[in-house]
Structure 1
Amino acid sequence: MVHYVTVATCALSQWALDFQGNLERIAQSIRQAKQQGARLRIGPELEITGYGCYDHFLESDTELHSWQALASLLEDRSLYGIMIDTGMPVMHRNARYNCRVVILDGQIVLIRPKMYLANDGNYREMRWFAPWTKRAATEEHLLPRFITRLTGQKTVPFGDALIGTEDSCIGIELCEELFTPASPHIEMSLAGAEVIINSSGSHHELRKLKRRVDLITEATLKCGGIYLYANQQGCDGDRLYYDGAAMVLANGAMLAMGSQFGLAEVEVTVATADLGAVRAFRAAICSRSMQAAQQSVPEYPRVEVAFSLSLDYDQLDAQVAPTVPLQFVRYLAPEEEISLGPACWLWDYLRRSRQRGFFLPLSGGIDSCSTALIVHSMCRLVVDACNKGDQQVISDVQMCYGRTTAGDGSFVVPKTPQELANRLFHTCYMGTANSSSETRQRAKQLAQSIGSYHVDLDMDAVVSAIVSLFSLATGQTPRYLVHGGSNAENLALQNIQARLRMLLAYLFAALLPWVRGHSGSLLVLGSANVDESLRGYFTKYDCSSADLNPIGSISKADLRRFVAYAKDHMQLPELAAFLEAVPSAELIPFSSSYAQSDEVEMGMSYDELSVFGRLRKIEKCGPYSMFVKLLHIWAERDLGPREIAEKVKRFFFFYSINRHKMTTVTPAYHAETYSPDDNRFDMRQFLYNSTWSWQFESIDRAVKQMEQEK
């Protein structure tokens, strides 16, 4: 029997503690869902507060304001006629839970607490929330008195339950629960839940989206049913970007999927599925019916509501048609994700911080080039949204501009990315006597192509002044190694240049708008990639110290692929010169016997660094296990055990002596699981015994044994 049900899932650009803005976006999404005929609407995890409140979840104010926002949804009669799933923290019997709150026509139907909490990587949910451990059980939750006065309800069901409608049954799982080995949707489906809803706060990482889609596809292939997935989309106020991709699947087929990246604050994805097809799909699988009939299937409590998701069989509307499944899901290549994810993150950060733009030290190397291209991508996205009439984006652009630009007082919307960049993006080449004409020219050409307001300067006089001051105070004048100086002198002279660039960056960021007759100040962008951070191959408090770093969690290899992609996709042929250039800091004088090279100075290649990083973080390798694994990973390379051992020991030595730099690392867009950012993601100490005596001796013994066995 055919029973068409229209459902809606949302991707919202929520912001931690922005209760007013979050509420407006939630209400807007509900109205849009209703307009498209949906009878069920779900939203992102903790959408009332924003997911990234962190220790603000410990404050009673956060819970109070959440209930106040929920009250606004409950009393808004324009939101009646649709079942609404929303999210907020709830204190139950003096324990705080991450909850879904299901409401219908001004009544609270169920409060469903999260059972399996995300507590690794970027997530610390157990710091703020307790997990609900009572499977298939509910308790009565005493509501705040002002909610009781509004709804007439003194208590409501709280716990792990299903919602029974007049025509179907709905089960709820939250974000992390989908990723667990025994996901709740399995038993819920066996217990009769035909619709599963999942509200998530899932952040973007390169190559991650496919895993989500695969898990949900497999879930609905095995269990049958309709599955709704909601997610936040945007920067919630921290390093993470939540990449949307809200979706609806049925019986293993993708019916509808929202965008992964975008500037819209509200995106509603609607699909129509057939409950009859779900029942037929399940009944046709004998083994599934056998499992559903077993006594071990939990007897879930059902909260019954006088509401139906579908029309009755004799009330079918010929205008309501099932959604045709998508033929395929297109996954973006990593270089496309780099182009879009950090760009959207930067735009959210810029508009919400109410600054006037960005300032970037543009060196002519591939790292600062990548950062500039990400800003260029941001400008392309913003101008495209303006051209499509997105009033929120137009309003945000006007705020960033700081004033109207037309003679009649109206705002002139930028027509090209270059026009927008000339107002919002400022670049500067900070040269010295050690800089090459090639890097200066590359920086200038790139700035011209993307439209940034560019400054080209030499800072030798400032460097000389610092050295002269030191000489005056000590009577000694340091020299570069190529001029007969020591390693200490050589390093100190390089660091002077690097750190002066940071000082100049903040000076220009503060005053360039004033120079141009504009108000406000600029956010300083850094350009240290994840591999350099891992190795510590940068100067502490140099121009890598900034307000934001879009590439701080992206590997050099991925950045090179991104620049190659941008060369063609963004029609910037001058990027070929960046790809061909040898990475160099250009901080020491050039000589016929030595040209400074990053990889030579590090003693390892960027490709090797990527391997070290993944083994260290993702595969949890210490020095010895890394050595053993590399014997096989690098089996095809012309490297013996001793050479591999030396590379491993060199990496861990420099990693450990430079780990302290991560305590001051610029907040970076999180894109890689081997990010060494110690502030939130990589919880390791910064003071190490850099000899690694026990570990390195274990490697040496293994190498000696291998050499004796030859």
Structure 2
Amino acid sequence: MKDGFLKAAALSPALRVADCGYNTDQILTQLRDCAQRGVKLAVFPEFCLTGYTCGDLFLQRTLQQGALEGLGRILEASAGLDLVALVGLPLMVRGKLYNCAAVVCRGQILGVVPKTYLPNYGEFYEKRQFTPGSCEVEQITLCGQEVPFGTSLLFRCRQLESFVLGVELCEDLWSALPPSTFHALAGATVIANLSASDETVGKAEYRRALVENQSARLLCGYIYASAAHGESTQDMVFAGHNLIAENGTLLAEALPFGGKIAETELDCQRLESERAKNTSFEPTSDGYVTVDFDLNLSETALTRWVDPAPFVPGDPARRAARCELILTMQADGLAKRMEHARAKKAVIGISGGLDSCLALLVAVRAMKQLGRPAADVLAVTMPCFGTTKRTRSNAEILCNELGVSFQEIDIARTVHSHFADIGQDESVLDVTFENGQARVRTLELMDLANRTGGLVVGTGDLSELALGWATYNGDHMSMYGVNAGVPKTLVRHLVRYEADAAGEGALQKVLLDILDTPVSPELLPAKDGEIAQKTEDLVGPYELHDFYLYYVLRFGFGPAKIFRLAKAAFAGRAEYPDEVLYKWLRNFYWRFFAQQFKRSCLPDGPKVGSVTLSPRGDWRMPSDASAALWLAELEQLPLHHSL
């Protein structure tokens, strides 16, 4: 449970209708197995102690008593198990019969939650035997314990306060206003649903969508355990379709008739983080009673998949659709700005590298959207001391293939003059040597845009902004930054997408060569005609930095948890042992804090994803904030002391 991870399981044990002893045996076997696997929350189906299809047998005292005896056995066994278990049973309370979920932990019944909505249509006749539950919480005596009973119950773990459990049963989810909505607003981060949903054609897809959407709407983890083999097949068939979702994402699924368990880890801290920044999620706990319980705060082995490229969809079809959407958003933003500014030209500094290539592709799309010729894009290459033949050639070929206007300005003479003005020794290849070139390039672009009635289109991407890998008032500045919301790992896929769309020919060839070119600002003299300055050798691999950036900005996780997630995501990658992950994570935090001043005065640019660094949008941070706390947390990791 450390770092907020809760191992949960949705189980569907085989049962016999009305055979409470047999059913209890099956539940106990699975419960003990769960405890051995480190499961902390085990959810069983609706009426798992009796079977859902008992019909009027539910009204028989013998069956009711059999269920109570089964609950007593589970209660006794749970005393030695470090988990919370939810089991379904019929329960007589003050002369009325209820369809209930009992919440059990370490020999204690934490509470009993009755079903709110009783289906009485189609194949369902629950109102024949049962009474709807009340939101009023009362005390009842059950198995010799005083137990809270009612729908307005929450269960909170003292050792992991972000784990707050709410409970509903089957039809409750399918209603217009599920009880889980109120549970979540009252503080529940995890919803358990004990269900007996029979299987019909098309129902699995609808059920899956319900669980995913409810978890997304409530910013919660949702565990759905459904009845399976052993229920009566007199008029229905039950398939054990078990699901676990987290904030709209399906994490685990036991397919219908597969006889499997859905098991994974929920990230309760992630859910808590989502709610903290969502001002539309307005908590209210009126009428709710919260029961606290204890579990051991142990390490949870991660089995859930941690995506090493969180900005890039793994599925090719989804990735292509995402690329098309982002390109369209970028182009639409630039088109609007061109219209508003009445700009005659879109002026872009083209280097032969990835970022300027993407900006150029976006500008061409924008012109097409505006019904203007591609020639209204003015691409300017500005070779200097570090420019290689490869990048210079690729820049020109790309511009010719796209049909944009192309101009070359050799800035070497201007840079020499500038260095003379400020007394820079050109043999000293320092930051002044590098930044002087970047600022001269920006000067040329800005003044050229003025002369042509144009607008300078920025090329820097989100990853560079996070690391501060941009020259202040150099390539850091533009009149509209189309790539400002696009991380470097995604830039590559956007260019690849356009290469695939280009078909075989010169355009595709040059795009592929640009993709194969090392990322570099080319501000240091080339060596034997090859790029001498490779960005990732200096600041670290962008796939690592994009991973760190995602979890820092999207969820506000601390360095220790991000390091743990990185180890899971990049496990098996020989180039990323723990010491490399640690080195670049430390470097990320140092640069991220030190370079905020550049992000505090960014030009306008379109937001395209959930993570952005615009000072007017998603990210507001003091330019002089200290990184001391974050670096200190990193230094507490065992790895730090072994380096």
TM-score normalised to the size of structure 1?
A: 0.44
Which is higher, the Rg of structure 1 or of structure 2? 2
TM-score normalised to the size of structure 2?
A: 0.49
